[in-house]
Amino acid sequence: MDIETNETNQIIDVTFEVESEVEKEVKKRKIKEGICIVSIPHVSAGLILAENEPGILKDYINILNKLVPAGNYQHNLKDTNAESQLKSMLLGSNQTILIEKGKITLGRWQSILFVELDGPRKRHINIKVIKNDISP
């Protein structure tokens, strides 16, 4: 799945898109239960399961800026995005979500959030659905 970001730091809710892709797979392969891995092939972005509420989205970005302030990082002697890579390290780039009764199970306040830390960029999100063989 491709997305495009248009700010340096930007959080995009991809829950609906992931659910739609999983739904198609689940129908085609008649999956009742399993897992879904959502994964990004990037080192300057993150993927989290968290709340999509305007205030906390700003707080996520602000705390990352506080934990990894702009500074004289070694990587920036040859590139410019050390800060975004260090933030990415703290967030991680893949999440495993359970599938029950053919549907992704997320908590009431959980959304699947792509966290751009070095935009604007074209980004990619990989989704893989693993069927659980529940035969006894």
Contact residues toward a second copy (CB under 8 A) are 28-30, 33-35, 37, 39-43, 48-51, 53-56, 58-60, 62-63, 67-68, 73-79, 82, 85-86, 88-98, 105-110, 126, 128-136
Nearest approach, Cβ of 51 to a second copy (angstroms)?
Answer: 5
Task: Return the number of the residue (34 or 119) whose C-beta is nearest a second copy.
Answer: 34
The three-class DSSP label of residue 96 is strand
> SS3 string of 11-71?
EEECHHHHHHHHHHHHHHCCCCCEEEEEECCCCCEEEEEECCCHHHHHHHHHHHHHHCCCC
Task: Return the number of the residue (63 or 120) whose C-beta is nearest a second copy.
Answer: 63
* Phi (first) and psi of residue 65, to 5 degrees: -65, -30
Task: Return the number of the residue (2 or 108) whose C-beta is nearest a second copy.
Answer: 108
Nearest approach, Cβ of 20 to a second copy (angstroms)?
Answer: 19
Task: Return the number of the residue (8 or 50) whose C-beta is nearest a second copy.
Answer: 50
> Six-digit token pair at 28?
């085609």
Nearest approach, Cβ of 5 to a second copy (angstroms)?
Answer: 16
Alpha carbons 6 and 116: distance in angstroms, whole number: 9
